[in-house]
Amino acid sequence: MRPSRPLRILVALVALALLLLAGPSPAGASSIQWGEVPAPEGFVRALTPRPWRFPADFAAHPEYQTEWWYYTGNLESDEGRPFGYQFTIFRQALQAEAPGGTADDGQSSPWRTPQVYSAHVTVSDIAADTFLQEERFARGALGLAGAASDPYAVWLNDWRIDAEGPDRVRLRAGTGAMAIDLSLGQSRPPVLQGRDGLSRKGPEPGNASHYYSLVQQPTDGSITVAGRTHAVHGVSWKDHEFSTSVLSPGTVGWDWFSAQFDDGSALMLYGLRGEDGSKEPFSGGRWIDGQDEVALDADDFELTVTGRWHSPHSGARYPAAWTLRVPRLDLTLAITPLMADQELITTSATYWEGALRYEGQRGERPLRGRGYGELTGYADRLDGLRGG
């Protein structure tokens, strides 16, 4: 689930109907509703920390029902033109796989598979005040979509994440209106979120995900918008989560933040929200500074909304500026979107996800950076949804 970035499975479930079809037609894919998702029998739950093995754990974990590989970044062209991007591939299983690695359904069609993949790509063209977005779906069969560990690769048709070496990956995705082609380095080992990579989202057993991040990834490549290709450079953030879980009843959404500061430090923070808008006790985050890390609990931070934005698309009203205080770290930050309209409208969910600016101080030291935020539950209530 993604209150680590919570529950990115939202968008994958629409495509689950594809798994029921023996042929290539995607007819009926958009008719599935959350209530139709089957109970997660046969899947593993995230109950305790697991032993991590990289690079093997960069790939898929089909014993869990839900998984996603999520990349965001803040880049600029050689002329200083700013861009944000997000590229995420989701895996969602309709039923648990048999020991041989396929669904035990007695069917032999090469199209039949327990796995479905979906993907999003967005580009925030800050100078043009334009937000571009696209989504795709495919079965995890016949090479249409999948994940591998040696070498690391995740793909949905020609949208791809590919290892280019032991510490470098290439992201490629695009449409007629936009494209990204980016090379990301790995400047430090994976950061294990929560407790040794186990990120709890509620009091129920197994209401958790296995979750790690790669932060401060140096990035260069190109972004194409409006028919023009821009050479870009900057930093990216990767999240990878897998689980078999639901949000607790009464948890309607979350506010998630990543920040990458100019001095090399980084911050991940999420607040799960109750029906009354209050922060729930399984909220938390992590501060990363050099080789030091500090786990943060719900009581460690105060997030105050100082501005709002009303979407002309969905009618939802989102927070649009915040003051963050973390007394334990002597940290105070003002958080503002790089542009207001970064609302992502997908087949099955609507939420805000976009590039952010961070300015403030830690103690007497000024602190500046950029990152990303995800705001869910403002257009669609999310408690009780299976996945993540």
pLDDT digits (tens, 9 = 90+) for 344-355: 998 878 999 999
> Looking at residues 308-325, what average pLDDT do you find?
97
Q: What is the pLDDT of residues 266-286, one digit of tens each?
A: 999 999 998 888 888 999 999
> Does residue 33 lie within any of the structural domains?
yes
**Domain total for the chain?**
1
Identify which of 380, 39, 5 has the alpha carbon closest to the alpha carbon of residue 206. Answer: 39
* Predicted TM-score of the model (pTM): 0.89
Q: CB under 8 Å to 227, separation ≥6 — which residues?
A: none
Position 324 pLDDT exceeds 70: yes
Q: What is the CATH number of the domain that holds 308?
A: 2.40.370.10
Let me know if residue 357 belongs to a domain: yes
- Share of residues in the chain with pLDDT > 90 (%): 70
pLDDT in tens, 169-228: 999 999 989 999 999 999 899 999 999 999 998 888 888 999 999 999 999 999 999 999
| pLDDT per residue as tens digits for the range 106-123 | 456 777 788 999 999 999
* 128-137, 138-147, 211-220, 253-262: least confidently modelled range: 138-147
Q: Kindly state the average pLDDT of the residues 62-81.
A: 96
| 1-5, 10-14, 253-257: least confidently modelled range | 10-14
Examine residue 388 and state whether it is found in any structural domain, yes or no. Answer: no
Q: Tell me if 381 is assigned to some domain.
A: no
Question: Is 82 inside a domain boundary?
Answer: yes
pLDDT tier, 103 (very low <50, low <70, confident <90, very high otherwise): low
Tokens, residue 264: 């090399």
High-pLDDT (> 70) share of the chain, %: 85
User: Are the C-beta atoms of 375 and 255 separated by less than 8 Å?
Assistant: yes
pLDDT digit string (tens) for 133-142?
999 999 888 8
Q: What is the pLDDT of residue 202?
A: 85
**35-44 contacts, C-beta under 8 A, 24 or more apart:** 37/13, 37/386, 37/387, 38/94, 38/95, 39/386, 40/65, 40/96, 40/244, 40/386, 41/95, 41/96, 42/95, 42/96, 43/93, 43/96, 43/244, 44/244
Peptide bond into 26 cis (omega under 30): no
Domain range for 190: 8-376
Confidence of residue 37 (pLDDT cuts 50, 70, 90): very low
User: What integer is the mean pLDDT of 225-242?
Assistant: 97
The one-letter code for the residue type at 218 is P
**DSSP letter (8 states) at residue 54:** T
Q: What amino acid is encoded at 4 in this protein?
A: S
Of the listed ranges 194-208, 215-229, 317-331, 356-370, the least confidently predicted one is 194-208
Phi, psi dihedral angles at 329 (to 5 degrees): -100, 0
pLDDT for the residue 387 = 41
Residue 382 lies in a domain: no
Domain-embedded: residue 222: yes
Task: State mean pLDDT over 229-243.
Answer: 97
Q: Is residue 310 a part of any domain in this protein?
A: yes
